[in-house]
Amino acid sequence: MNDVIPAPRAVEGPMRCGVELDAETTLWAAPGTDATERWLRATLGAALGLPLRPGPQDARNAVRLLLDDTLEPEAYKLGVVVNRGIEIRGGGAAGVFWGAQTLRQLLGPDAFRRAPVRAGRTYGIAHQVIEDAPRFPWRGLMLDVSRHFMPKDGVLRHLDLMAAHKLNVFHFHLTDDQGWRVQIKRYPKLTEVGSWRARTKFGHRASPLWEEKPHGGFYTQDDIREIVAYAAERHISVVPEIDIPGHSQAAIAAYPELGNTDVIDTTSLTVWDTWGISQNVLAPTDNTLRFYEGVFEELLELFPADAGPFTRFSPFSGFVHIGGDECAKDQWKRSPTAQARIRELGLADEDELQSWFVRHFDNWLSARGRRLIGWDEILEGGLAEGAAVSSWRGYQGGVTAARAGHDVVMCPEQQVYLDHRQAAGPDEPVPIGYVRTLEDVYRFEPVPPELTEAEARHVLGTQANVWTEVMEDPARVDYQTFPRLAAFAEVAWSALPAPAERDFADFERRMAAHYGRLDALGVAYRPPTGPLPWQRRPGVLGRPIEGAPPNV
């Protein structure tokens, strides 16, 4: 019985007979499949102790990689045929790679290790043919490295975990009030000052607990280039986020002139050490615009629109996320400079001032062949022309944007914010938000039913978001993210029925095998029976919300 996650579209078999991989198995790769060829030898070959030497295409004991232009770019056909070996056909290089990920799952948990644990063993796969293709082109994971920094090796590991689940867009949340994480050479204080804070709130912002030690870190420009190249080899687009005009206290602490200096003494600000929405936002001045244009100039070089073979069919590596969410307007209301700018531009209010700010960078990015995407607050005061929307406050922002002809990524917090707690029990560590169980995530539907067929075509896909305010180390990130990311990946990839009709019992059956893969990968997931003793955080205040989340 097949236990692949995400569930493939069609499976013929499996049958009792099959194919065995051993030291004599060869690997033949057609032109255009070189990234998967490298991955198979470096990852699968290393895990199983198989050299996968080059061999002829017609060898009986061979793995063959081919491109097939009759398939969609990310579609694949995986055939395991007795006396013919294993063949993976993909509509594009990415399709071949996703087929290789399925092959890895068919080989069992040993294939997910970094070195062989059973030397000399052969690995059998039952005779079968799998045909598969994704439902959505945008299958994303957002990782917040601003609240708690994740070193580069951890980011690379998460890219591998994304690839293992056929996710293909990495939304890289690089800046916020609590830390600036990317080196900008023309503005060195962004990392010299903005990348670390003196202490950190432990738990929810109402918690009385503090971790009284500095926290910080940032990625050098070469680190970023490495991350982008590593992602491209795995057919993952990286979408960087630089928050403007809110969530910017770390930048203002580094360069006080960016803040509303006519309202507060911005020279007294430090990188924020607690959670919530900071009132310290960017000033709507020409100086601020020029400063961030300089930031984006360096950023576009680090995140090129053509980052590798993946971008031959996907535009997502050309996106730049500018945040735009939770911009407190109090300082603008009290700022003579901001009010003068509103009058100068003939704007109605502070919401339209934020829209002007967003439109400026939409035009600036468009002129350089890029696309702006922002959280659904960019709808306030008028939607920026050409912008796409990450609909996070529920479905409504996405519905409004799609009806206006704008592309949407659905990531409603009530459904797919993985920082929300996984159960109602008292042992959940730092419980935040609504209860979102594995089954809840599995029954998430990204396309709102009120959209027409034409409007629904603007839904690029969906994304799970991992906010790290209460995730103080990588193990906590693992706990909150897994196993729910496996359920989310199936929602994003597979052609599932309506939520109420989905076979969660079958998914649980397949998860029983998938936990073994996660174990082999060293993922500190939440066990089905609840948190292990060391995963709990007794006495640390959270912010649980009772009841079912609203469907808004």
Which of 226, 262, 326, 439 is an active site residue? 326
Which of 132, 144, 176, 377 is an active site residue? 176
User: Is-contact 324 375, C-beta < 8 A?
Assistant: yes
Residue type, 254: A
Instruction: Kindly compute the dihedral angle of the four CA atoms of residues 386, 392, 396, 401, in this order, to the nearest 10 degrees.
Output: 0
- Comparing CA positions, the residue from 375, 481, 314 lying closest to residue 387 is 375
Quick one: tokens of 299?
């950023």
Quick one: tokens of 280?
């310290």
Instruction: Kindly compute the dihedral angle of the four CA atoms of residues 362, 365, 229, 489, in this order, to the nearest 10 degrees.
Output: 20
Residue 496 CA: distances (Å) to CA of 283, 431, 492, 507, 515: 46, 30, 9, 11, 22
Burial 219-256 (b: 16+ CB within 10 A, else e): beeebbbebbebbbbbbbbbbbbbbbbbbbbbbbbbbb
Q: Rounded to whole angstroms, how far apart are CA atoms 383 and 458?
A: 15
Residue type, 338: A
Beta-carbon count within 10 A of 306 CB: 11
Q: Is 405 left (phi over 0), alpha (psi -120 to 50) or beta?
A: left
DSSP string, 314-361: --GGGEEEEE--S---HHHHH-HHHHHHHHHHT-SSHHHHHHHHHHHH
Quick one: tokens of 414?
């009530």
Which of 247, 321, 420, 458 is an active site residue? 247
Phi, psi of 144 (to 5 degrees): -90, 110
176 assigned to active site: yes
247 assigned to active site: yes
- Exposed / middle / buried, residue 298 (Cβ in 10 Å: 0-12, 13-18, 19+): middle
Q: Are strands 123-126 and 76-81 parallel, antiparallel or unpaired?
A: unpaired
326 assigned to active site: yes
Which residues are known to be catalytic?
Answer: 176, 247, 326
